[in-house]
Amino acid sequence: MTALALYLANIVVLPLLLIGLIRKGKARLLNRAGPPLFGPFYDLWRLLRKEEVVSETTTLVFRAAPLVNLAAVLAVALMVPWAGAASPLRGDLFLAIYLLALGRFAVGLAALDAGSAFGGLGASRESTVSIQAEPAMVCAFVALAARAHSSSFQAMFAASPADGLGLVLVPLVLVALWLATMAELARMPVDDPTTHLELTMIHETLFLENSGPNLALTEFTVALKSVVLLGLCAQVARMPWAGLPPWTGEPLTLALIGLAALVVVVTESTAVKMRWRRLPNFLSFALVAALLACLLVALKG
Amino acid sequence: MVALFSVEPLSLMAIIVGLCTLGLTSLRNCMAAYGVQTVALGLLAIELGVQHGEPVALWVGCVVLLLKGVGIPVYLGVVARRIGCRRDEGLLIAPPLLMFATLAAIALLVLTPGMAAVVPLHVWPSLLLVTIGMIFMMTRRMALTQIIGFLMLENGIFLYGISQPHSMPFIVELGVLVDVLAGTMLGGLLAFRLSDTFDHIDTTVLRELHG
């Protein structure tokens, strides 16, 4: 019972804390005071009490999409052992991937539903980035699943990398997952999350039409997806130390998520956003790393 | 099917770096990747020397690491900066597509059932590295990246030399190293001359008439 309560507390508290941490870190790196650490919590509370402005051309799709997205990402968060502890529901790799894709599809439809050309631009750009990033993520997990002979996340992360294969496999999968995660979460160098210029937005175009409670749901979903994907990267990075006792799982995962947040902070403060046409060059390395990992696992037998 | 995973992690890393270099378009990154690959092979030579108790391999590894792994990328970087050449877009197909095609070719090669009997296990990494170097050399348009492709091919030959059960004599290794260094310096000089004469080092347009 306490494990379940802790898990739910993770889902409620960690996402917004992570976003607050990243924002604070970016400000501190530039020697500014920055927003408060619990800023995203205040933002959410403020947005929930605001009046919503909805375009007249929208239909049920626009109202339903944030709910579908949140439901999908929440289901994935409950299914996948991203926090280092066992998840309440039993998770399967393909179900998780399809749920994330369902969420993305719903948000893309909502952007198109608003009737402006800008929504179409955003949906098209986001789909283009997802086409390149999603296969990398899937293939990286498929390599781990093939090695563990099971598509369950628990079995994947429990497979001990004691043999020499693990030494080469874990970095490859981690590189593929990291690049794909940066693309999925619309972080630098794929996309600048703090841009105000609509022509340079990829991910934020989808949320520009939302306001009030819709925006609150959407922001929470993005934060939850960030923490789940970074948690999965942390689980892969934790695999070489599978021999440690189980109670170290959660603290180690939190430390690794903090480290990932630090890397995100430094990258966002120093890197520039890539030109749109150079994006396939960048994301192809993710897919190549993932396919290499699959090839190595196939060779092992 | 070849059990490549049982091969040294350092030579696997050299192959992976070579594969990723196929997708790079920036000259500076290509040279850095070549440097990383050569350092990995130098470390492999040192490790093999320590393992088998051969001081020859140790010295060869150190020399390769310093001269080829650090010296050549620095030298070619200076040449590239003086010429002002930054990007190499590749010939015919885009670098990422080329990277995928090479990965597919390598996968086909390695997963074919009869291959393990035809090619011994210790030859595989050098074979793959030579192939990758050749593909890199063939599909680039700037003279400097073609030189890097040739150097990667030579890395493959070096890997073949140190992965043999009985290592090559010291004098042969040093001779090859001196040849490679001299060839690279001449290549750099030629790139300068090309840039002086044509104002670019794009080999695909060298046949254009001027004036």
CA A102 to each of CA A48, A71, A105: distance values in angstroms, whole numbers, following the listed order:
25, 10, 5
Q: What average pLDDT score do residues B82-101 get?
A: 88
**What's the pLDDT at B1?**
55
- Amino acid sitting at position B64: V
Q: What average pLDDT score do residues B181-188 get?
A: 89
**What's the pLDDT at B7?**
66
Q: What span, in angstroms and rounded, lies between the C-alpha atoms of A139 and A143?
A: 6
In this structure, the number of other CB atoms found within 10 A of the CB of residue A83 comes to 24
Q: Return the structure tokens found at A118.
A: 């800008």
Nearest CA-CA partner of B148 in B160, B161, B162, B138: B138
Report phi then psi at A212, rounded to 5. 60, -140
Helices (H) and strands (E) in chain B, counts: 9, 0
Q: What span, in angstroms and rounded, lies between the C-alpha atoms of B119 and B99?
A: 24
Report phi then psi at B202, rounded to 5. -80, 110
Q: Do A296 and B4 touch (CB under 8 A)?
A: yes
Q: Give yes or no for A177 touching B (CB within 8 A).
A: no
Question: What share of chain B has pLDDT > 90, as a percent?
Answer: 37
Q: 């051969």: which residue's tokens? A: B54
Q: Give yes or no for A74 touching B (CB within 8 A).
A: no
Reported ipTM: 0.87
**What's the pLDDT at A175?**
95
Q: What is the pTM of this model?
A: 0.91
Q: What span, in angstroms and rounded, lies between the C-alpha atoms of A209 and A211?
A: 7
In this structure, the number of other CB atoms found within 10 A of the CB of residue A158 comes to 13
pLDDT at B114 over 90: no
pLDDT at A287 over 60: yes
Under DSSP, the state recorded for A271 is: P
**pLDDT category, A79, cuts 50, 70, 90?**
very high
Residue of A nearest to B97 (CA): A284
Q: What span, in angstroms and rounded, lies between the C-alpha atoms of A276 and A255?
A: 33
Q: Is the dihedral of CA A14, A15, A17, A18 positive or negative?
A: positive
Please give the span between the terminal C-alpha atoms of chain B, in angstroms, as a whole number.
57
Q: What span, in angstroms and rounded, lies between the C-alpha atoms of A242 and A235?
A: 10
**Nearest-CA distance A259 → chain B (Å):** 25
In this structure, the number of other CB atoms found within 10 A of the CB of residue A233 comes to 22
**pLDDT tens by residue, B17-45:** 999 999 999 999 999 999 999 999 999 88
Say which residues have a Cβ less than 8 Å from residue B156's Cβ, sequence separation at least 6: B126, B127, B128, B129, B130, B131, B132, B133
Where are chain A's structural domains?
A: 2-300
Q: What is the 3-state secondary structure (H, E, C) of B130-171?
A: HHHHHHHHHCCCEHHHHHHHHHHHHHHHHHHHHHCCCCCCHH
Q: Return the structure tokens found at A199.
A: 């022509």
**pLDDT tens by residue, B121-163:** 888 899 999 999 999 999 998 889 999 999 999 999 989 888 8
**pLDDT category, A277, cuts 50, 70, 90?**
confident
Residues in chain B: 211
Strand partners, B87: B26
**pLDDT tens by residue, A120-168:** 999 999 999 999 999 999 999 999 999 888 889 988 888 766 666 777 8
Say which residues have a Cβ less than 8 Å from residue B127's Cβ, sequence separation at least 6: B119, B156, B160
Q: Do A164 and B2 touch (CB under 8 A)?
A: no
**pLDDT tens by residue, A172-209:** 999 999 999 999 998 888 888 888 787 888 888 888 88
Under DSSP, the state recorded for B64 is: I
pLDDT at B4 over 80: no
Q: How much is the CA Rg of chain B, to the nearest whole Å?
A: 18
Q: Give the SS3 label for residue B207.
A: coil
**pLDDT tens by residue, A85-124:** 888 888 889 999 999 999 999 999 999 998 888 889 999 9
Q: What span, in angstroms and rounded, lies between the C-alpha atoms of A205 and A198?
A: 7
**pLDDT category, A57, cuts 50, 70, 90?**
confident
Q: What span, in angstroms and rounded, lies between the C-alpha atoms of A162 and A286?
A: 25
Q: Do B2 and A299 touch (CB under 8 A)?
A: yes
**What's the pLDDT at B50?**
85
Provide the angle, in degrees to the nearest 10, between the axes of the packed helices B27-52 and B143-163.
Answer: 10
Q: What span, in angstroms and rounded, lies between the C-alpha atoms of B27 and B11?
A: 23
pLDDT at A298 over 90: no
**What's the pLDDT at B87?**
85
pLDDT at B2 over 60: no
Q: Give yes or no for A168 touching B (CB within 8 A).
A: yes
Q: Give yes or no for B98 touching A (CB within 8 A).
A: no
Contacts of A281 in chain B (CB under 8 A): 23, 25, 94-96
**pLDDT tens by residue, A9-55:** 999 999 999 999 999 999 999 999 999 999 999 999 999 999 999 88
Residue of B nearest to A280 (CA): B96
Q: What is the 3-state secondary structure (H, E, C) of A20-62?
A: HHHHHHHHHHCCCCCCCCCHHHHHHHHHHCCCCCCCCCCCHHH
pLDDT at A244 over 60: yes
Strand partners, B26: B87
Q: What average pLDDT score do residues B57-75 get?
A: 87
